């Protein structure tokens, strides 16, 4: 199932000078209204260097007319607020 979710989404990978993966962003979009960030992960040693912001900007440049929506934990909310995101409320049901 996870393989299918990767096939149906946009993934951008960040690598260092030695081609080691240091982070990635994965999103889905309808191409017109909403770009939803599903995952944004940066390895702990590389955090605080602007990599996450660069990945968000690069992904949004692919779909510049869309808004960005995402779900964030309370742990990551400060990061997103620094990037200009604002909190909104939603609902979730897990099965």
Q: Which fold has domain 2-82?
A: Aminopeptidase (3.40.630)
Q: How far apart are CA 42 and CA 7, in angstroms?
A: 21
Q: ∠84-69-86 over CA atoms, to 5°?
A: 35
The β-bridge relationship of strands 67-70 and 10-15 is: unpaired
pLDDT number for residue 1? 58
Given a cut of 90, is residue 4 above it in pLDDT?
A: no
Alpha helices for 1-95 (secondary structure H): 2-7, 51-62, 77-82
6-10, 82-86, 91-95: lowest mean pLDDT where?
91-95
pLDDT number for residue 6? 63
Q: What are phi and psi of 69, to 5 degrees?
A: -120, 150
Tokens 């990767």 belong to: 6
| pTM, 2 dp | 0.85
pLDDT number for residue 88? 82
């Amino acid at each position: 199932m996870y393989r299918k979710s990767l096939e149906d989404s946009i993934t951008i990978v960040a690598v260092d000078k030695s081609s080691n993966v240091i982070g990635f962003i994965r999103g889905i979009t309808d191409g017109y209204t909403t770009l939803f960030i599903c995952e944004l992960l940066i390895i702990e040693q590389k955090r605080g260097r602007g990599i996450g912001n660069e990945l968000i900007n690069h992904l949004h440049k692919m779909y510049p007319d869309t808004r960005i929506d995402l779900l964030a934990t309370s742990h990551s909310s400060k990061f997103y607020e620094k990037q200009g995101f604002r909190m909104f409320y939603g609902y979730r049901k897990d099965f």
